[in-house]
Chains A and B, each alone.
Chain A
């Protein structure tokens, strides 16, 4: 799909075959990433060790980034890698290190409300799945009218997202930078030890 524009010189049948192969690869990769994401997310909940939970969350976030690439969202995938894997996860690991006594036998976290938690989460999952399967989303009218070839002739979505950020959503964009500044200052202020300063 990504190479569709580059293959104009080849004959139609060859292009068809290459497209089919790429599509099969895409589908296989999607299910691989999906299974990886679900398994490591489940391990995050099931394990008692905090550090194992953090690293299995890392695998989940990486798989979700891979799925973003398969959904033609390359910029979002890179942002996911940089912000989540590079920033939030490091913060979480710092939080684990700083908020548990390391001289305990290991950093463990017990589970409470197991029955109620499983019940509520299972009910939410069943309800959402039933709705998704019943709603017949693929048959929505506006999904039929749009073509699925997102990228078209351009190579990536970076240019369209950049133009959009600077025109249509420029006010939320600036507000977001303000929010980041406020969050940074607030986090630094809250975490400071006031007695020692």
Chain B
């Protein structure tokens, strides 16, 4: 009974997670930071689905990952709206050029 080993799925998800962290830390443009966050969501979801394979009756992991996808979609919509407002106000979407003027 050879299956895809659980460790390899978890390692893949760890790699995707750290690439997402790298994108969040090292990118200047706000949209790329959001893309890194989406990558982190996907890495977490992969773990849930991988463990749900061993839970055939309840499928709790799959149901939970559905909710994660849903919250990620809502987050992406609101965050991109905020990015657009920030771009209109500061004329840039680069996070290190956003300077709040002193009153």
A71 close to chain B: CB less than 8 A? yes
Specify the main secondary structure of chain B where it touches its partner: helix
| Given A71-B9, A95-B80: A176 touches B56 (CB 8 Å cut-off) | no
B77-A50 in contact (CB<8A): no
Give the number of residues in A that approach B within 8 Å (Cβ atoms): 89
Measured as residues with beta carbon below 8 angstroms from the partner, the interface class of chain B is 35 or more
Q: Which residues of A contact B52 (CB under 8 A)?
A: 71, 73
CA distance A116 to B38 in the complex (A): 21
B85-A190 in contact (CB<8A): yes
A95-B34 in contact (CB<8A): yes
What is the count of residue pairs linking A and B with beta-carbon distances less than 8 angstroms?
A: 242
Interfacial residues of chain A within 62-81, with CB under 8 A of chain B in the complex? 64, 67-68, 70-73, 75-76, 79-80
CA distance A37 to B45 in the complex (A): 14
Specify the main secondary structure of chain A where it touches its partner: helix
A172-B67 in contact (CB<8A): yes
| Given A111-B27, A118-B26, A180-B70: A125 touches B15 (CB 8 Å cut-off) | yes
CA distance A168 to B36 in the complex (A): 32
B80-A91 in contact (CB<8A): yes
Q: Which residues of A contact B16 (CB under 8 A)?
A: 37-38, 41, 60, 64
**Residues of B near any A CB (own CB < 8 A):** 1-12, 14-23, 25-32, 34-36, 38-39, 42, 45-46, 49-50, 52-56, 58-59, 62-63, 65-67, 69-78, 80-85, 87-88, 93-94, 96
